Structures are given as structure tokens and as C-alpha cells.
Amino acid sequence: MRFAATHIGIVLSYPGTGHIAFGGGGDKPCGGDAGVVDMVFPIFRRLLRDRETASEAGAPFRPQHIVATVALALLLAACGRGDDRPPPRPVGAKPVTLNLPTSRDTQACFADLSREQVRYSPLPDRDYGGGCQVTGSVQLIDIGVPVTNLKGMRCGLARTFVAWTRHAVAPAARQILGSDLVRVESFGTYACRNVIGSATAGNRLSGHAIANAVDISGFVLADGRRITVLDGWRSGDADVREFLQAIHASACKRFGTVLSPDYNAAHANHLHLEDDHARFCR
Ligand SMILES: [Zn+2]
């Protein structure tokens, strides 16, 4: 309980500082062996068990259960946000270049890209106002297959995207469609906007606003075929459907959030791939 209460202090300071560096820090605030969530969950589970035991015995519900629940909810809500970013500036503020030190996770990510023989250039950290920030990001230059419309993307997203393209999309094209992948088409990465296409999420910043999401719209094969999400998702060609289902399933194992035409009409023509650890696959 003391532990949970300690973290309420941290969580409540979140909107003011916008900066939580618990657990491993860097791009994966909730990951790592010593992540706070890993530590809080057992406590929370114990409290819940206590509560069930107490209610079975007719004992009154104790307020600390509510406090613990709220603390955990706030903590989980804070986890979606990358943590190497400064507090958001007002909407409409002039874009500024930030002088942030490169976080250790970002440095490790750059090293991973280099090891995978990806050509990229690190981008300066920029704050566009209204919570739209591009930090720890890269411009991918050559990942082995051309990708259209890629702008800055957070390094962790770039790393996962490269792995998905190389180890899921290219092999699936060869195995299911019998032709090599020669181009990936995207609708882009960074866009300073809210989530679209959902009645409940319209006031929430999109993963694109922090360059942490990419929208993939199609694939061109060596035999000249162009497979688009729009035409292919419910195509009469079973192989095309199987290809798109296979790369969607692989994306769900690699990215935090994957949205397809099955999710809503706003995603009829692309796959939304986001590196947010949300484990949301539609
Ligand atoms: Zn998207």
C-alpha cells in the first residue's frame, strides 16, 4: 500500500512534468524486469484478494482499495506515452528544436538499426506544440526495399517496421503470392492530429502526432502486381486475402496497436501500425 501511495505522488505529478522515467525509462516506460507495473500488479492483485476475502466475511470495503485502483489506472494510462519527451507546449506554438540528450534506449535503437544494416539518419528532436513532438526519431533511407512517403518516425517504430517488412511481408509475398516484394506504399508517419474514426477517442492525440505510428496502404510485387489494403482485404482472390491476413497477424505480434479495415471505416485503405505496447489488434 505504501508502495502504491508512493506512486500516486509520481502519477499525479505527471501532467505537470509530463516526464516519468520509472522502470527502464527510454522508449519502453512500462517494460523491463524492474518496471513499476511489474511491481505494482502483484500488490494490486493482493489488495483485490484481500477485498474479496473481506467482502465474503461481510467486512466493509476499505478506501485504500479505491486509492490503489485509481493509482494503478493512472499508472497504466501514463504508460502509453514515451518518456523522453518534455511537457507539451500550447496548441499553435511555434515549432522549436529541442536540445535533449539522446536517451539510452534511443541510442540502443540506433545501434540496432546499424547492426541490421539499415541506412537511416537520426532527426533533431522537434516540438510542434499541442503535444505534437518528434523525439528519438529517424528518417529511414534504405531498408532493402523502397517504402514510399516515410517521414520521421520514432526509432523503436522504425526498428519494428523494418523487421516486419523483412521478416513477415517479404517472405509472405514470396510464399503466398509467389513473387518478390519490390515496394511498400505508406500514407506516412508523422501527422499532428487527434485519433480519427472513433466516436470516443476524437479528443485524444494520435500516435502519428508523436511519429509513433505508420499507415501502410499497399505492396508492389516483382511481377507487377499491386496489392492494396483497400482492394485486397476483401478481394475475391484467396491468395491476396491470405497474404494480407498473414502480414496483419504478424504485425499484431510485433506492434502495440494494429488497426485494419476490420476495425472501422477510417482504416478501410490501410493498416495502422503503432509502437505503443497497447496489445490492441483489430
Ligand atoms: Zn494511422
- HEC secondary structure over 57-75: CCCCCCHHHHHHHHHHHHH
In the numeric block, which cell numbers belong to residue 188?
506516412
Task: Measure the CA–CA gap between 24 and 35, rounded to whole angstroms.
Answer: 6
C-alpha cell at 21: 522515467
Measured in Å, residue 273 CA sits from the centre of ligand 1 at 7
Task: Please tell me the total count of domains within the chain.
Answer: 2
CA of 278 to the centre of ligand 1 (A): 14
Task: Mark whether 45 and 160 lie in a shared domain.
Answer: no
CA distance 47 to 50: 5
In a domain, residue 214? The reply is yes
Amino acid making up residue 34: A
Ligand 1 centroid – CA 225 distance (Å): 24
State in Å: Cα 188 to ligand 1 middle.
8
What CA–CA distances, in Å, run from 13 to 19, 82, 241, 243? Answer: 9, 16, 48, 46
Domain termination residue (choose one: 53, 79, 105)? 79
Cα of 199 from ligand 1 centre, angstroms = 16
Alpha carbons 82 and 125: distance in angstroms, whole number = 13
Phi, then psi, of 127 in degrees rounded to 5: -115, 120
- Residue pair 164/254 in contact (Cβ under 8 Å)? The answer is yes
For residue 54 the three cell numbers come to 473481506
Are 68 and 121 in a shared domain?
no
User: Among 50, 79, 108, where does a domain finish?
Assistant: 79
41: in domain: yes
Is position 29 within any domain? yes
Distance 27 CA to ligand 1 centre (A): 19
Tell how many helices (H) and how many strands (E) occur in the chain. 9, 12
Q: Is residue 90 part of a domain?
A: no
Residue 167 lies in a domain: yes
Of 54, 79, 104, which one is at a domain's C-terminal end? 79
Host domain of residue 275: 96-281
Query: How much is the pLDDT for 84?
Result: 64
Residues 221 and 258 in one domain: yes
Same domain, 13 and 107: no
**Bridge partners of residue 119, in order along the sequence:** 142
| Whether residues 213 and 261 fall in one domain | yes
Q: Are residues 142 and 14 in the same domain?
A: no
Which pLDDT score is estimated for 219?
A: 98
pLDDT of residue 20: 27
Whether residue 272 sits in one domain with residue 154: yes
Strands (E), the chain: 96-97, 119-122, 126-127, 133-134, 137-142, 153-154, 181-188, 213-221, 226-228, 257-259, 271-274, 280-281
Say yes or no: 129 and 252 in one domain. Answer: yes
Ligand 1 centroid to 267 CA: how many Å? Answer: 8
Polymer length in residues for the chain: 282
- State the distance from the centre of ligand 1 to the C-alpha of 149, rounded, in angstroms: 13
- Other beta carbons within 10 Å of 8: 16
CA distance 168 to 162: 10
Task: Please check whether residues 120 and 208 belong to one and the same domain.
Answer: yes
Structural contact between residues 23 and 35, judged by C-beta atoms closer than 8 angstroms: yes
| Alpha-carbon span 273 to 214, nearest angstrom | 5
Q: Residue 40 in 3-state DSSP?
A: helix
Same-domain check for residues 101 and 22: no
Residues bordering ligand 1, an ion, CB closer than 5 Å:
213, 215, 272
Output the CA 249–ligand 1 centroid distance in Å: 17
Please indicate, yes or no, whether residues 141 and 68 belong to a single structural domain of this protein: no
Residue 87 is assigned to a structural domain of this protein: no
- For the chain, the farthest-separated pair of C-alpha atoms sits apart, in whole angstroms, at 71
CA 140 to ligand 1 centroid distance, Å: 18
Residue found under cell 515496394:
183
Per-residue pLDDT of the chain (282 residues; tens, 9 = 90+): 333 333 333 332 223 232 222 222 223 233 333 333 333 344 444 444 444 434 444 444 455 554 444 444 444 444 444 456 677 777 777 888 887 888 999 999 999 999 999 999 999 999 999 889 999 999 999 999 999 999 999 999 999 999 999 999 999 999 999 999 999 999 999 999 888 766 555 678 999 999 999 999 999 999 999 999 999 999 999 999 999 999 999 999 999 999 999 999 999 999 999 999 999 999
Q: Could you tell me if residue 88 is inside a domain? A: no
Ligand 1 centroid to 96 CA: how many Å?
Answer: 24
Could you tell me if 177 and 262 lie in one domain? yes
Decide if 166 is inside a domain. yes
